[in-house]
Amino acid sequence: MTRASSRRPGPPTRTERGIPEATVARLPVYLRALTALSDSGIATASSEDLATAAGVNSAKLRKDLSYLGSYGTRGVGYDVEYLRYQIAREIGVTQDWAVVIVGIGNLGHALANYSGFGTRGFRIVALLDADPNLVGERIGDMEVRDFAQLEEIVEADRVSIGVITTPAGPAQEVCDRLVAAGVTSILNFAPVVLSVPDGVDIRKVDLSIELQILAYHEQRKSGEAALPQVPELPAMNGMTDLPSVGGGVGA
């Protein structure tokens, strides 16, 4: 994910279509905040209002928005609808993106059932699984299809985004097939590090990792003193039956 085109010193490569990655990650948050404000019938909002709604501070928000252009009015604020459209356009959710979900286990099921998908810039065009027992099952108004059909589906529906909700084992193979079929963006829920060629973007969502990060901070809060300083050599006999940490929510 080396996407910042760094060319020369100065501010982090502004203008000419180079928005910092950290800003890109926040644009969807602003978009949601604007949608909420819009739904409340609010027509204009200051950077302070928006920042509160989005959970960031106002300076950061203003700087982020400044990468897109000057869409505010000094002394007044931002027109909610107008800014919302501009951000949606910048992100690319004014058009619909075709998505396939591969791996219809618990999580794949949950995502497939999630109704608020089609109305948000993304359209699930296929649910795929290699398990013959699952193929044919109906979920909502869709039917699970055979993973073997991947290539023709990607071609027919111009799919550019794939979601992997398989267990860890087959994830890399599924990923390779997706890439070979022409998918260039992948959202991975399997607890493995996937490798993809240049030009393919990949993002990972991992429940176990999130929980472990919380656990780290939690440990700090409760027994700051209960934590032994640095036990140089823990009992070796206990090490083979450690809880097998390191898994994930693969299916």
Annotated binding-site members for NAD(+): 103-108
The residues that bridge with 44 in the sheet, in sequence order, are: 79
Stretch that binds a second copy, among 41-49, 147-155, 172-180, 214-222 (CB under 8 A): 214-222
Q: Are 194 and 186 in contact (CB under 8 A)?
A: yes
**How far is residue 15's CA from residue 184's CA, in Å, rounded to a whole number?**
25
- Joined tokens for residue 88: 């949606």
Residue 153's binding partner among a second copy, DNA, none (Cβ under 5 to 8 angstroms by kind) is: none
- The DSSP H or E segment spanning 124 is strand 122-129
Site for a second copy in 55-84 (CB under 8 A): 55, 69, 81-82, 84
Q: Are 210 and 200 in contact (CB under 8 A)?
A: no
Residue 132's binding partner among a second copy, DNA, none (Cβ under 5 to 8 angstroms by kind) is: none
Site for a second copy in 81-110 (CB under 8 A): 81-82, 84-85, 88-94, 96-97, 99, 106-107, 109-110
**How far is residue 15's CA from residue 204's CA, in Å, rounded to a whole number?**
28
Interaction of residue 138 with a second copy, rule CB under 8 A: no
Q: Which is nearer to a second copy, 173 or 210 (CB)?
A: 210
Residue with tokens 């919380």: 214
What does the DSSP 8-state code read for residue 169?
H
Interaction of residue 151 with a second copy, rule CB under 8 A: no
Interaction of residue 197 with a second copy, rule CB under 8 A: no
**How far is residue 91's CA from residue 31's CA, in Å, rounded to a whole number?**
9
The distance of closest approach from Cβ of residue 32 to DNA in the complex, given in angstroms and rounded to an integer, is 17
Residue 63's binding partner among DNA, a second copy, none (Cβ under 5 to 8 angstroms by kind) is: DNA
Interaction of residue 36 with a second copy, rule CB under 8 A: yes
Site for a second copy in 218-237 (CB under 8 A): 218-222, 230-231, 234
The distance of closest approach from Cβ of residue 167 to a second copy in the complex, given in angstroms and rounded to an integer, is 9
Give the count of residues interacting with a second copy (CB under 8 A).
88
- Of the candidates 78, 115, 106, 81, the one whose C-alpha atom is nearest the C-alpha of residue 190 is 106
Straight-line distance from the first to the last Cα atom of the chain, in angstroms, rounded to the nearest whole number: 25
Residues near DNA (CB under 7 A) are: 4, 6, 9, 11-13, 20-23, 46-48, 56-60, 62-63, 65-66, 70-78
Q: Are 148 and 131 in contact (CB under 8 A)?
A: no
Site for a second copy in 9-28 (CB under 8 A): 17, 24-25, 27-28
**How far is residue 190's CA from residue 163's CA, in Å, rounded to a whole number?**
10
Stretch that binds a second copy, among 57-65, 128-136, 147-155, 189-197 (CB under 8 A): 189-197
Given the DSSP bridges, would you call strands 142-146 and 161-164 parallel, antiparallel or unpaired? unpaired
Interaction of residue 157 with a second copy, rule CB under 8 A: no
